[in-house]
Chains A and B, each alone.
Chain A
Amino acid sequence: MKITVAGVSKEVKDGLTVAQLVIDENVEMPQYVTVTVNDDFVESGTFEQAVLHEGDSVEFLYFMGGGAE
Chain B
Amino acid sequence: MALSNEQIERYSRHIILKEVGAKGQKKLLGAKVLIIGAGGLGAPAAMYLAAAGVGTIGIADADEVDLSNLQRQIIHQTKDVGKPKVQSAKETMEAMNPDVNVITYHEFINSGNILDIIKDYDFIIDGTDNFPAKFLINDACVMAKKPFSHAGIIRFQGQLMTYVPGQGPCYRCVFKEPPPKDAVPTCKQAGVIGAMGGVIGSLQAMEAVKYILGVGELLTGYLLTYDALKMQFRKVKLPSDTHSCAVCGDHPSITKLIDYEQAECDGVGL
Interfacial residues of chain B within 134-189, with CB under 8 A of chain A in the complex: 134, 151-154, 157-159, 174-176, 179, 183-188
CB of B123 closer than 8 Å to a CB of A = no
CB of B270 closer than 8 Å to a CB of A = yes
Chain B hits for A6, CB < 8 A: 234
Bitwise interface map of A from 1 to 26 toward B, beta carbon under 8 Å scored 1, else 0: 00000110000000000000000000
Task: Closest A residue to B73 by CB, please name it.
Answer: A68
Task: Please state if B175 and A63 are interface contacts (CB–CB under 8 Å).
Answer: yes
Q: Main secondary structure on chain A at its contact with chain B?
A: loop
A67–B131 Cα distance when bound, in Å, is 11
Task: Please state if A69 and B186 are interface contacts (CB–CB under 8 Å).
Answer: yes
Given contacts A44-B176, A61-B174, A63-B175, are A68 and B238 in contact (CB under 8 A)? no
Q: How many A-B residue pairs have CB under 8 A?
A: 99
Chain A hits for B241, CB < 8 A: 40-41
CB of B129 closer than 8 Å to a CB of A = yes
Bitwise interface map of B from 234 to 268 toward A, beta carbon under 8 Å scored 1, else 0: 10111111000000000000000000000000110
Selecting from B18-26, B34-42, B90-98, B207-215, the interface stretch reads: B34-42
Task: Please state if A67 and B234 are interface contacts (CB–CB under 8 Å).
Answer: no
Residues of B within 8 A of A (CB): 37-42, 61, 63, 69, 126-131, 134, 151-154, 157-159, 174-176, 179, 183-188, 192, 197, 201, 223, 234, 236-241, 266-267, 269-270
